[in-house]
Amino acid sequence: MDNDSKESSSGALESLSFPSNKWVKLNVGGKVYTTTLDTLVGREPDSMLARMFLQNGAMQPSEKDEQGAYLIDRSPRYFEPIINYLRHGQFICDDNISVKGVLAEARFFGIYSLVAHLEELLAQEDQPLDDRPLT
Amino acid sequence: MDNDSKESSSGALESLSFPSNKWVKLNVGGKVYTTTLDTLVGREPDSMLARMFLQNGAMQPSEKDEQGAYLIDRSPRYFEPIINYLRHGQFICDDNISVKGVLAEARFFGIYSLVAHLEELLAQEDQPLDDRPLT
Amino acid sequence: MDNDSKESSSGALESLSFPSNKWVKLNVGGKVYTTTLDTLVGREPDSMLARMFLQNGAMQPSEKDEQGAYLIDRSPRYFEPIINYLRHGQFICDDNISVKGVLAEARFFGIYSLVAHLEELLAQEDQPLDDRPLT
Amino acid sequence: MDNDSKESSSGALESLSFPSNKWVKLNVGGKVYTTTLDTLVGREPDSMLARMFLQNGAMQPSEKDEQGAYLIDRSPRYFEPIINYLRHGQFICDDNISVKGVLAEARFFGIYSLVAHLEELLAQEDQPLDDRPLT
Amino acid sequence: MDNDSKESSSGALESLSFPSNKWVKLNVGGKVYTTTLDTLVGREPDSMLARMFLQNGAMQPSEKDEQGAYLIDRSPRYFEPIINYLRHGQFICDDNISVKGVLAEARFFGIYSLVAHLEELLAQEDQPLDDRPLT
């Protein structure tokens, strides 16, 4: 009934607080994403998301909501290309989605390979990258 | 089980009725957004949203729905860029989203730094800003 | 626990079957919208929506679903600009949303100020207004 | 509590297995649509959807999910203009929605007046109507 | 109450672990799709999805979430045209959806007839098919 009880007793990734095939729910700004620990820590082990789930990391996982999803106070819309990037390593995004919006999230989550790629994309589009806060 | 019970006994922001890391659910027109009190009161302390959650403010928080989300009778679609703005201070919006729609919400919530920015954006687009009510 | 029990004993709007600050849920074609009675009856008191909720009106409110939302057999997508219009009196609509779709709903709900505005919009776009049923 | 118990004892449409004002939930590919039996059988009584709900029809309604919605293994996105068509008799569709997608569903559900209309639309757009299965 | 208990005692497709009319829920990245076993194994019996549900296949179905949906750690947005393709054999996709995104999913699920079709589509658009992971 509860996947959490199926933890393998020892794993190759000893620094993980969960077995690597564990399913994780993230509540990003009100929308729930389902993914695996592998996705969160595998591609970008130094990112903020990875460090939230690394046993010896400096960060604690955030609080959970009532259905057990970790709460993250960010935009669900622009998180979607981020989690897909962590799944398969490509940046893929529909035409009508703001690349600036994805960049803001990539920076927040500390996914620097993606940040660099998105900054390059925006530079090619010749958009002035004025993303300083208004206030 | 209930995050509300984890309140810190005393906080730096004494005027808050909740600890600043508290998670808050908003039911905007039927869609639930999850955010933190910090986001709601931090960037625009004079906004209507902030005043709803400030202890000594003139406003009471609105009623809650059955899952504990504060009810707000406004458009969820155009609230999304508003809450993102409160999270990170940038106005980011997909191409197909009506800027006029976001402006109407920014005015309702009294987020004046954003109102000024959006009015400027619309002026640049040379759109006649006819946003008087039809009736 | 139940907002319905918080009715004010007497109100300015005596013809209402509910206090005017009452929250109302509408299940439009499967999607639930949350709004207030004020929104439903305030701006267009002669509309079908208003008459559903006026005590002495000719109409009965429709049946409710299992979560207490009034059932309405119409398109949720095109209802969204309708309910926003009732909230603040402006017609605001994303570029990719069919104005004809909103017009069909405005007619159904009998919101004639909006019907007139939308017919004018479509006339300006020089679209032949062939909206007769196919069958 | 249960709308099903409110059936009228006799109706004009004797061939219906439900009273005509009955509310019906359809689970189309995972998304739940709420509509009435009138909508499903009224406009296109020979369609597959109508025959699923006609008492003396050759078809049985499909299985229901855990919330009582009839299961249909088709695309929810392209079903939306279909159900709106059954509600009011117009074909209305946002610009970014694939007309081919709606046509595939209209054919599946056997709504032939709409099939003819959509084929004509696509012919006008001069699109080669190559909609044979790839395999 | 539980459709699973309605299994037919023997079926034509003996290699299936479920009767072919069985309804299956898939939780793709947090969004639940409802479909049938026929759809999952019928059109592309060699795909990864099919093999997950074939009795003598090498793969085990993935874990289920709390509502009984099989968990798949992929993008729900780009899975939608995939499941529609398995339903009726056509590739149909709205204009604003990234074909590259669908291609990444078609490859992951091993649906090779669709992979070939999408690669051809992208080649026609003269887009450089640089879909190597960034890292």
Q: What are D82-128's pLDDT values in tens digits? A: 999 999 999 999 988 999 999 999 999 999 999 999 999 999 886 55
Give percent of chain A with pLDDT exceeding 70.
74
Average pLDDT of C125-134? Answer: 65
Q: What is the pLDDT of residue E7?
A: 35
Q: Which of C63, C75, C131 sits opposite D84 (nearest CB)?
A: C75
Hey, are the CB atoms on C134 and D85 less than 8 Å from each other? Answer: yes
Structure confidence by residue, pLDDT tens digits, C25-79? 999 999 999 999 999 999 999 998 898 887 655 566 778 999 999 999 999 999 9
Q: What would the DSSP string read from start to end of D50-75?
A: HHHHBTTSSPPP--B-TTSPEEE-S-
Average pLDDT of E37-43? Answer: 92
On the 0-12 / 13-18 / 19+ scale of CB atoms within 10 A, D24 is buried
Chain C positions with Cβ closer than 8 Å to B? 3, 23, 25, 31-36, 38-39, 43-44, 80, 83-85, 87-96, 113-114, 117
User: Which chain E residue has its CA at the smallest distance from A84's CA?
Assistant: E75
Average pLDDT of E10-31? Answer: 68
Query: Beta-carbon neighbour count of residue A20 at 10 Å?
Result: 16
User: Which chain A residue has its CA at the smallest distance from E68's CA?
Assistant: A1
The angle, 0 to 180 degrees and rounded to 10, between the axes of the packed helices C76-88 and B99-109 is 40
Q: What is the pLDDT of residue A54?
A: 79
Lowest mean pLDDT among A73-77, A128-132, D65-69: A128-132
Stretch (H or E) spanning A76: helix A76-88
CA A35 to chain centre: 10
Q: What is the pLDDT of residue D71?
A: 94
Look up residue D24 and give its DSSP letter.
Answer: E
pLDDT at A59 over 70: no
Report the gap between the CA of C35 and the closest CA in chain B (Å): 5
Q: What is the pLDDT of residue C49?
A: 87
Q: Which of D6, D34, D94 sits opposite C97 (nearest CB)?
A: D94
User: Which chain A residue has its CA at the smallest distance from B21's CA?
Assistant: A63
Q: What is the pLDDT of residue B8?
A: 36
On the 0-12 / 13-18 / 19+ scale of CB atoms within 10 A, E35 is buried
Mutate to test the interface with D, among E33, E80, E85, E90 (most CBs of D within 10 A): E90
Alpha helix positions (H), chain D:
37-42, 48-53, 76-88, 99-109, 112-124
The angle, 0 to 180 degrees and rounded to 10, between the axes of the packed helices C112-124 and C99-109 is 160
Alpha helix positions (H), chain B:
37-42, 48-53, 76-88, 99-109, 112-124
Number of alpha carbons in the 13 Å side-chain half-sphere of residue D124: 7
Look up residue E5 and give its DSSP letter.
Answer: G
Q: Which of A36, A93, A114 sits opposite E98 (nearest CB)?
A: A93
pLDDT at B106 over 90: yes
Which of B47, B48, B53, B52 lies closest to B13, judged by CA?
B53
Mean pLDDT of chain B: 82
Chain E positions with Cβ closer than 8 Å to A? 27, 29-30, 63, 65-66, 71, 73-75, 77-78, 96-98, 100-101, 104, 108, 131-135
Q: Which of C92, C96, C117 sits opposite B104 (nearest CB)?
A: C92
Cβ proximity of C22 and C11 under 8 Å: no
Report the gap between the CA of B5 and the closest CA in chain A (Å): 13
Give percent of chain C with pLDDT exceeding 70.
74
* pTM of the shown model: 0.81
Indicate if ipTM > 0.90.
Answer: no
User: Which chain A residue has its CA at the smallest distance from E132's CA?
Assistant: A90
Cβ proximity of C97 and D77 under 8 Å: no
Cβ neighbours for B117, distance < 8 A, ≥ 6 positions apart: A134, B91
pLDDT at E85 over 60: yes
Q: What is the pLDDT of residue B7?
A: 35
